[in-house]
Amino acid sequence: MKTKFRGTTPIITVRDISRSVDFYVNSLGFKLDFIYGEPNFYAGLYRDDVEIHLIDKNSPNARQPAGNANLSILTDEVDNLYDNLKDQGVVVLGAPEDRDYGLRDFSCKDLDGNIFNFGVESD
């Protein structure tokens, strides 16, 4: 029997879990699902069909330094998202462009330098 993959949840290492949760909720539009630990060191967030987890760099379970993640998220549009993120003061790495690989996309950074690529299939 062949194993079927059912989904993915990236775990992103951050320097300050509370500050990062605030950024992801208020700037990127995610919703907080849970926060764990005393003091807090792990959080789950979601937006529509996308789920991500954050882990504080000081957690013994952190597997990489903060700022090393690079995620690609497919969306139904990117131009309004780009404008909204710029209005929120998010560091964007250029305006949306049509790419030869079939996407219209742009990238931005979180507070720790983790990169998010947002793209929509282009016509």
Q: Could you tell me the mean pLDDT of each successive run of 10 residues in the chain, 123 residues long?
A: 92 97 97 95 97 96 95 96 96 96 97 97 84
Question: Any idea where the domains of the chain sit in the sequence?
Answer: 11-121
CA distance 104 to 109: 18
pTM given for the model: 0.93
C-alpha 53 chain-centroid distance: 9
Query: Has domain 11-121 been given CATH number 1.10.10.60?
Result: no
CA distance 13 to 114: 8
Q: Tell me: cis bond preceding 96? Omega within 30 of 0 counts.
A: no
| Amino acid 84: pLDDT | 96
| Amino acid 109: pLDDT | 97
Q: How many helices (H) and strands (E) does the chain have?
A: 2, 9
| Amino acid 123: pLDDT | 72
3-class secondary structure, 25: helix
